[in-house]
Amino acid sequence: MSMALIETVNITQKYGKQDIIKNISLKVDQGEVLALIGPTGAGKTTLLRLLDLLETPASGRIYFDGMEVTAGKHLRLQARRRMSFVLQKPVVFNMSVSDNIACGLKWRKEKEATVSQRVNSALELVGMTGYANRNARTLSGGETQLVAIARALAIAPEVLFLDEPTANLDPVSTARIEEVLAHIIGEQKTTVVMATHDMSQGQRLAGRIGVIINGELLQTGSPNDIFSTPQNTRVAELVGIGNILGGVIASRDNELVGIDVGGSIIQAISEHGIGAEVHALIRPEDVTLALHKDASSARNTFEGSITRIFPVGALVRVELACGFPLLTVVTRRSARDLNLAVGNRVYATFKATAVHVLKRWN
Amino acid sequence: MTELWEALVTAVKLIIAFDPEVMQIAGRSLAISATSSVIAALICLPLGAVIHFNRFPGKRTLINIIQTLFSLPTVAVGLFVFVLFSSAGPLGGFGIMFSPAVMVVGQVVLITPLMLGLIISALSATDKAITDTAVSLGASGFQMSVITFREARFGVLAGLIMGFGRAISEVGLSLMVGGNIRGFTRTITTAISLETSKGDLELALALGMILIFVALVINIGLNRIQQR
């Protein structure tokens, strides 16, 4: 058994009769950055609280650096003093910014000189040197988050837990916090476990992603694995694969299969045999729209009529009926160029390699 | 009406002149109640922390009982202390009946539920995230309690002051166990009650004004704390 820094074995947590965490076994290696993604209420925060030893699991074991920390109050305090946690809605103590940052150090009985030196470098790290003597309660949301991060980093934790570090923050503060996090991940090699519902943030910062839905850890893997080859439809939905089409493999030619989706045949790459019931997953951004059928290398071209158009930020989402419902996204500019309107007929094209095929279990 | 007016004028003169009797009674009142408050605080601060920070069966009920005892009648406490400390009582051996010491004991019993209850509610009013943050930053149980008290300090202080206010203004208890002995256990409230029944309104009014002045100072203090 390789020595992971943190390991959980079948941990569960219940609040009353409600199962919040269901049998999660997870390993986090030294220096690793793991992002937990999942919808709100999936159990991400509870899992972080269990890992940070703020809560004890209803069952299962947690190991930190080889020690079982599920039992024993003293051992838990010892282990906890090697970690720190930035809550989703961080609170600051009613004292100055620098006193806030010094708290964890004073509780560890660090020398006065060490405390002031570490406080200063933590303030510098988050770019808030000028705020040292301000009362922390007077700070804005973004500033409070930065102070909370500095306070968590001042103790030089071996593991940093972050719960939605940029939720409810403006884009400028978000960018600044991600910059700080990228720095500590890159320079200080701190092990980081963060919960986020922002997929792209997970992709930017983490080396590995764990997907939690409804208290279960459904899949862990590299960001690329999670986003391109989700292992089930719930993960697929979460990572924004807009098209999840049920069908049956009808034909096979080497790796290339034809999937019968309600009468239309979608060509894809799969190892499943003829007759296998599958889901064809297609990312909306992998589908292109055209007014005329053109000869491209893409294997799948379907004619359909537009049923719905709605703008999303800089993009436009277009829903088609082409034998099956198909969701695509185009830029505002191409929507204008193609003169897209509800009822218009267009051609949708995507490559066989853009289709991710998942075996259906239910 | 003129009689009342004259009494009022004499009372003000007594205060301005620092009349020895008035000052002695006021000083004794303050000393006894301050002592009771300090002792009650020394009991309530740690006890409040123990009750607030631990989970145990019957916690809710215990807090309900404490809150019910906020309005403990002073004469009931007086009776209880009297029975305990009278010469035939189980604690009669201390021989402190009708002395300032037994008045302090009675006042501590009287104000402990109030102080304790207000301290617990001040601690409960602090954000749960404060304790989580402290624990996650490596605070031990004791360090976490200290920072929570620090965050709840205004509410806690208000509780202590309320306790003092109840101690200095009660009369039934002091009368029953103190005995209103001149120069020994006579306090502002017992003196007012006696002098009024004797018809000596000047002294009663002077002491009454001092008591109201103390109440005013306490109230101003509380207001300033709550405005922070």
Task: Give domain limits for chain B.
Answer: 32-177+206-227
- What is the per-residue pLDDT for B135? 95
Is A295's pLDDT higher than 80? no
CB–CB of B159/B115 below 8 Å? yes
Roughly how many angstroms between the first and final C-alpha of chain A, as a whole number? 34
What number of helices (H) and strands (E) belong to chain B?
Answer: 11, 0
| pLDDT band with cut points at 50, 70 and 90 for residue B222 | confident
| pLDDT band with cut points at 50, 70 and 90 for residue A73 | confident
Distance between CA atoms of A234 and A230, rounded to whole angstroms? 9
Distance between CA atoms of B26 and B18, rounded to whole angstroms? 11
The predicted model gives A209-220 an average pLDDT of 95
CA distance readout (Å), A33 to A42, A209, A213, A227: 20, 8, 20, 17
- What is the per-residue pLDDT for A29? 95
The predicted model gives A280-298 an average pLDDT of 85
Using a CB-CB distance cutoff of 8 angstroms, which residues of chain A are in contact with residue B137?
84, 103-104, 107, 151-152, 155
Residue A348's DSSP bridge partners are A289, A302
| Residue type, position A81, single letter | R
CATH class of A241-359: mainly beta
Sheet holding A6-15, edge to edge: A18-28, A6-15, A59-64, A67-68
Q: How many CB atoms lie within 10 A of CB B31?
A: 13
Least CB–CB distance from A52: residue in B130, B136, B150: B136
Roughly how many angstroms between the first and final C-alpha of chain B, as a whole number? 44
Distance between CA atoms of A357 and B38, rounded to whole angstroms? 75
> What percentage of chain A exceeds 90 in pLDDT?
67
- What is the per-residue pLDDT for B41? 97
Distance between CA atoms of A237 and A316, rounded to whole angstroms? 19
Q: Is A291 on the interface with B (CB under 8 A)?
A: no
Distance between CA atoms of B69 and B117, rounded to whole angstroms? 9
Q: According to the CATH classification, is domain A6-237 in 3.30.70.270?
A: no
| pLDDT band with cut points at 50, 70 and 90 for residue A297 | low
CB contact under 8 A, A85 and B147: no
How far is the alpha carbon of B226 from chain A, nearest alpha carbon, in Å?
15
How far is the alpha carbon of B78 from chain A, nearest alpha carbon, in Å?
42
Using a CB-CB distance cutoff of 8 angstroms, which residues of chain B are in contact with residue A77?
138, 140
Q: Is B137 on the interface with A (CB under 8 A)?
A: yes
Sheet holding A325-331, edge to edge: A288-290, A345-350, A300-312, A315-321, A325-331
- What is the per-residue pLDDT for A230? 87
Distance between CA atoms of B184 and B100, rounded to whole angstroms? 7
Mean of the per-residue pLDDT values of chain B: 93
| pLDDT band with cut points at 50, 70 and 90 for residue A1 | very low
The predicted model gives B201-218 an average pLDDT of 89
Least CB–CB distance from A54: residue in B127, B132, B151: B132
Residues 6+ apart with CB under 8 A from A252: A258, A273, A274
Q: Is B129 on the interface with A (CB under 8 A)?
A: yes
Q: Among all residues of chain B, which has the CA nearest to that of A150?
A: B137
Location of structure tokens 């205060």: B15
Distance between CA atoms of B205 and B207, rounded to whole angstroms? 5
Is A71's pLDDT higher than 80? no
Q: Is B151 on the interface with A (CB under 8 A)?
A: yes
Q: Is A138 on the interface with B (CB under 8 A)?
A: no
Q: Is A317 on the interface with B (CB under 8 A)?
A: no
How far is the alpha carbon of B69 from chain A, nearest alpha carbon, in Å?
32
Is A362's pLDDT higher than 70? no
Q: How many CB atoms lie within 10 A of CB A141?
A: 13
Tokens of A42: 């999936």
What number of helices (H) and strands (E) belong to chain A?
Answer: 10, 20
CB–CB of A162/A86 below 8 Å? yes
How far is the alpha carbon of A303 from chain B, nearest alpha carbon, in Å?
56
Chain B interface, best mutation among A80, A89, A101, by max B CB count within 10 A: A80
Is B227's pLDDT higher than 80? no
Between B5 and B35, the higher pLDDT residue:
B35
| pLDDT band with cut points at 50, 70 and 90 for residue A170 | confident
Q: Is B147 on the interface with A (CB under 8 A)?
A: yes
Hey, CA dihedral for B181, B185, B191, B193, is it positive or negative?
Answer: negative
Summarised one tens digit per residue, pLDDT across range B114-159 is: 999 999 999 999 999 999 999 999 999 999 999 999 999 999 999 9
- What is the per-residue pLDDT for B228? 66
Using a CB-CB distance cutoff of 8 angstroms, which residues of chain B are in contact with residue A52?
136
Q: Is B54 on the interface with A (CB under 8 A)?
A: no
The predicted model gives A306-335 an average pLDDT of 91
CB–CB of A219/A230 below 8 Å? yes
CB contact under 8 A, A93 and B132: no
How far is the alpha carbon of B128 from chain A, nearest alpha carbon, in Å?
10
Q: How many CB atoms lie within 10 A of CB A275?
A: 8
Location of structure tokens 């406080």: A119
Is A2's pLDDT higher than 70? no
Phi and psi (nearest 5°) for B54? -110, 150
Summarised one tens digit per residue, pLDDT across range A85-142 is: 999 999 999 999 999 999 999 999 999 999 999 999 999 999 999 999 999 999 998 8
Q: Which of B17, B32, B77, B11 is nearest to B184 (CA)?
A: B32
Distance between CA atoms of A132 and A110, rounded to whole angstroms? 19
Q: Which of A75-79, A232-236, B98-102 has the highest mean pLDDT?
A: B98-102
Q: Among all residues of chain B, which has the CA nearest to that of A51?
A: B136
3 state DSSP class of A3: coil
Is A361's pLDDT higher than 80? no
Using a CB-CB distance cutoff of 8 angstroms, which residues of chain B are in contact with residue A160?
none
Location of structure tokens 């309320």: B162
| Residue type, position B128, single letter | K
Residue-wise DSSP of A199-218: HHHHHHH-SEEEEEETTEEE
Q: Is A345 on the interface with B (CB under 8 A)?
A: no
| Rg (chain B; Cα; Å) | 21
Using DSSP bridges, classify how beta strands A59-64 and A67-68 pair: parallel, antiparallel or unpaired.
antiparallel
Chain A interface, best mutation among B53, B54, B136, by max A CB count within 10 A: B136
Mean of the per-residue pLDDT values of chain A: 91
CB contact under 8 A, A87 and B150: no
Fold observed for domain B32-177+206-227: MetI-like fold (1.10.3720)
How far is the alpha carbon of B57 from chain A, nearest alpha carbon, in Å?
16
CB contact under 8 A, A93 and B135: no
Q: At what angle do helices A112-125 and A171-187 cross, to 10 degrees?
A: 130
Using a CB-CB distance cutoff of 8 angstroms, which residues of chain B are in contact with residue A151?
137
Is B105's pLDDT higher than 80? yes
The predicted model gives A175-191 an average pLDDT of 89
Residue A94 DSSP one-character state: S
Least CB–CB distance from B139: residue in A91, A107, A148: A107
Summarised one tens digit per residue, pLDDT across range B35-62 is: 999 999 999 999 999 999 999 999 999 9
3-state secondary structure A249-301: EEEEECCEEEEEECCEEEEEECCCCCCCEEEEEECHHHCEEECCCCCCCCCEE
Size of interface A-B (CB pairs under 8 A): 54
CA atoms within 13 A on the CB side of A15: 9
3 state DSSP class of B89: coil
Tokens of A334: 């191409």
CB contact under 8 A, A80 and B147: no
3 state DSSP class of A245: strand
